[in-house]
Structure 1
Amino acid sequence: MSSVLVINSGSSSFKYQLIDAESEERLASGLVERIGEATGHVSYDTPEGHWERSLEIPDHTAGFDVMLAGFSEHGPSLDEHPPVAVGHRVVHGGARFFEPTLITPLVLINIEDLSDLAPLHNPANVEGIKAAQHAFPDLPQVAVFDTAFHQTMPPDAYTYALEASIAERLRIRRYGFHGTSHKFVSEAAAEFLQRPLTELKQIVLHLGNGASACAVDRGRSVDTSMGFTPLEGLVMGTRTGDMDPAVLLYLQRKTRMGVEELDELVNKQSGVLGLSGHKDMRDLTRAADAGDEKARLALGVYVHRIKRYVGAYLVELGGVDVISFTAGVGENSAIVRTRSLSSLEGLGIEVDADRNEAPNTGPRVISTDDSRITVLVVPTNEELEIARQTLQATGARK
């Protein structure tokens, strides 16, 4: 019973899942965090239970040793479920990588070279890859890129109207992110509706602490809200989303804020947190219901931006068959779903209040029977998508 080990590595932590290659069942998952600190922390989950421990974890290689010890102590046995490959989430593939890619020394150099475009993510992804190569020297390692799904965007959609030679020299263009989730959800929506993916025009709304919208035309991403970085697009937990870039120039002139301060402001101190003081959508909606005007405004700004992108993609796609909500907010916030699509009945979108409010954890329809556009909630599973693409890249699955 072979398996795939999926790794999502950060600078001081990594998450992992062991997934059965045939049944696609999650056999185990865990988090190794506080790497490099005086005391690290490990959590480990299987269907049989949950375990935690604290110990020193000096680097990612040591973190893999701790992970392997968890398999030995708590199961499942890697002898009984031998991994056939290790799949890695890599945030930025630039314009070079448009499919899951077997990691060779040259590929690793390219991933490191793209660190200029994702300085907080790609170096950490590289650390995870190197640690996995040390732990599993005989296994194929596969990079699955967040940006890859969006490499089908046409030049009209990914090109900024910036002076061309500067943009080309510094690789400035729209790349898009959350591609693994958008791919998984658009395919899961087609499967759930029992309709061919190649016949559907879809909008996928990945709404979590980070959020993005994607226009999917017959299985291909043709536009997405995130751009050169994950800052562009929808309002997020702590990020501004779309904003006149001259605001940053104005702030620099008026306040003498430096580049690092501005980066901190727009990425970590803004969004719904900056507007309301609440980062979590559950806290925000409770405060808005209680009459907090800042929370009400933040919620209004949040859903207004979603509605703007829905309208834009309806036009860009020339009509839409399916709109899917996914990720933490999209899957769990009925009020966000309702308000994001309110007053769009003239465009063929009608949300059924009872269906939208009904508790459910699986894929489900929340539109009315008369709605011309089907509205779904589709739970995302990026780790499973990485496992699938890893098997495809290694030839273990066609």
Structure 2
Amino acid sequence: MPAGETAHAAPEVKKWHDHNWDEVLAGKGTADRYFARSGLIRKDLLASYAPPGRHPPTVVLRSFSELQQAFEDLGCGGKASTDSETRRSVRFVLKKAHSSNANGIRFFTEEEALRIIDAECDDAGKGLDEKVGSWPSRSIGEVLAALNGKKTDASFLRWAAVAGGLAVASGMFVFCCSGPRLGNARGVGTALVAAPLLIPHAMVHQQCCSSSRNGSVAKVLETVREIQQLFEPPASKEGEVWVLQRHINPWLHCGRKFHLRVLLLCVGDLAAYVHEDVRLLLATEPFETGRWDSGRLHAHVTNMGVGRDHSEYSEDDQNLSLGVLGEEVAERFLREVIEVLGSTLSRLREAGRRHFFTRSNCWELFGVDFLMQAGSGRAILLEVNPSPSLAMYGIGPSVRQDLVGPDPLSSVPAMWRKVNLT
């Protein structure tokens, strides 16, 4: 710094609630926030404004029962589910609609989703274990009712049919092995006696065998209860909104999943810009370790906050420039990002001010997360974050001002590319 000059501290970053919105909306003063931007930052609303094919298929939900239906709405159990590789792979993502930094995020394989769909649990979370526990004590009358087509639960009917066949087979085996001295009557009688004993135990055996390639009924119950608890206090506020999305098969770099953090600067009413320095944030663990394991969060979650919890996290190796993918790929991706964000903002503006209320004396910086789709390389918009962490760009209070300049309402630095709005 030349002699005689004084360093100017970066202006304090105010939170949304710290602004005097009565004055700002009256045109007095400025704000580094927009009054309303829920259509951009809420995951349940963003799905309505992102252009088709550029956002994961999304279902909004508020309860465990709605989660079960959401899995079906997103194709769980469809024709593709008959493929063993598809059933074992991670295919769904559950997120809180109003949170960021991967708070509460869960991944599911197709098999796990099918378990949750099949779980007939009541609000207290007791239904499935009570039901499984009751199968061995089903009476012969209930067995006969099932075989005669009287009303009973569907799963009991399925396993009763299976077990009935086992019982008849057992009787035929005894008949064939008993010899002429015992005769036909004893073989058939054995089948009839064995039936009420085999049916309930066969049903439990069938449930245990089909519940998971790795676990037992107890494991199924544990998983179902755990997911149910996500929708209950203290894990979730009453009526809290969630979204279930189809998992996008990611482009990999060095065998690892990554997402791309894009800075979006919205100014006035309305101009928009994308910063040319797009950061590529790598997962800490190879993607193959999590392809079949939904619990390996360090293979699936790529943000820096989660990555730093891992003993092998390295910022130098995991916070990279988009340019590592090659100049041609980087330029094409940046053009797609600008197009997707331009379309999203245009749709928001057309919808009115309820979900995106811009003003000429306001501006805001957003952190936008994109995924690059495997095979096609398409830019898929995941989410938009207010008050984004700028840690991947540097440390210190001046980082934001270095990026956006001292007053974005007056001028925007050269590193920002204009987003075309329709």
Normalising by structure 1, report the TM-score: 0.24
Larger RCO: 1 or 2 (CA < 8 Å, sep 6+): 2
Larger-Rg structure: 2
